[in-house]
Amino acid sequence: MVSFFGEVVFPVSRAFWDGDDEGGPSERTGNQLEFSLRWLKEKPVRIETLIVVEGKMLLDFTRECLCQNAEEVCLVEDENKTKVCIIYQINDEVYLCIVSPQLDIKFSGKLVDKMSEILTNSNSTICVTCHHVSQFKCKNIPATPSFLRMLATKSGENVCSLKEPLLEQPNIVHGVAAGVLSYAEFMELPAVLYVLYIDNFVLDSVSAEPLLKLFTAMNCTLRNVSFGGKNFFSKGNLYI
């Protein structure tokens, strides 16, 4: 069970913002950016499983594994028509939401609010995010290049067959993935969040193994692709 991870609390005074936020009236504050949601295909009545992936390190890997032939079916854009989320239809039952790494974390709450109809129309939601292992607060850190921890809503314990240790306190998850899980908990929706902790800043064939195990447990087919030579792997090759 989660405890409302992912809430974004804006400073009560401009004194708490960085100096870059100071300026004329044309500059935006944390509550002013607006998002729009646009379906490129017919909006589904229900979604069986929605996967939300956040974290720059995970995005290209996820696209290669799951999205090679998938269609973009929905976009969430800001006022400048910048894509902050792209939703792909993986198969008849699974939709995948990729969160742009360019999204400012302080707008996570507004983005989750804009996606609320999609979340409530999903029978289950699986969120995936990542952190460097230096952010993992625990006396016993696994002696592996990467590992998973999970959180689930009250009704989300059986959303995915992959069972990992629960994320220990006082660890904190932030961003869109955490906001989605908090929203699901508040609305009593089945959802689970997996956090990949990694001891490097790039994925290689070893550190990607927990993700392969997670994706295999989902109701979707992994693509037969070779990751050798891809720019987002700075060392090692990964073959599926």
206-233, pLDDT tens digit by residue? 889 999 999 989 877 787 545 454 444 4
pLDDT tens digits along 71-87: 899 999 999 999 999 99
Report the predicted TM-score, pTM, of the whole model to 2 decimal places.
0.82
What's the pLDDT score for residue 229? 45
What's the pLDDT score for residue 31? 57
- Three state DSSP letters for the chain: CCCCCCCCCCCCCHHHCCHHHCCCCCCCCCCCCCEEEEECCCCCCCEEEEEEECCHHHHHHHHHHHCCCCEEEEEEEECCCCEEEEEEECCCCEEEEEECCCCCHHHHHHHHHHCHHHHHCEEEEEEEEEEEHHHCCCCCCCCCCEEEEEEECCCCCCCCCCCCCECCCCCCCCCHHHHHHHHHHHCCCCEEEEEEEECCCCCCCCCCHHHHHHHHHCCCCCCCCECCCCCCCCCCCCEC
Least confident of 25-29, 38-42, 57-61: 25-29
